[in-house]
Homo-oligomer: A and B are copies of this chain.
Amino acid sequence: MKVERKLKELGLELPDAPKPVANYVTAVRSGNLVFLSGHGPVKEDGTLMTGKVGTDRTWEQGYEAAKRVTLGLLSSLKAEIGGLDKVRRVVKLLGMVNCTPDFEDQPKVINGASDLLVELFGEKGKHARSAVGMNSLPSNISVEIEMIVEVED
């Protein structure tokens, strides 16, 4: 329960694991890898953080959105594997920022995910990643992230 205690110390709470509304699931395990679906930023009140970064939203707001996305990813991961202490390594993030064509600070936005993962998991939280700009995302969410995690047998 180390990781979840750490979450509590940071004043953070995992949201309910999101339920996809179609013929897909939030996570699939194959061997020791768990592949997580792209998740969006859900606020504490259950609504989505929306708007394009670079015009409707600042990169700081994008950073917060990336942090919220990460909580949702961890909630789905926990539902899949039973507990977050079974994480052996966060392997890879694809961080997608809904932004204007002239926005260049996608890495600053996706740091909202990377910083939280390293704060929670330490060295195991250090991942490979891409941080890129999208012209649009579902329901106009500001950030979407998919993640690959290596877990214990």
Chain A residues with a Cβ under 8 A of chain B: 21-28, 30-33, 35-38, 52, 89-94, 96, 99-107, 111, 114-115, 117-118, 125-140, 144, 146, 148, 150
Bound state CA distance, A109 and B31, in angstroms? Answer: 30
Bound state CA distance, A21 and B114, in angstroms? Answer: 11
Copies in the complex: 3
Bound state CA distance, A28 and B115, in angstroms? Answer: 17
Task: Tell me which residues across on chain B come within 8 A of A24, comparing CB atoms.
Answer: 93, 114, 126-129
B138 touches A105 (CB 8 A): yes
Query: In this complex, what residue of B is CB-closest to A34?
Result: B128
B22 touches A107 (CB 8 A): yes
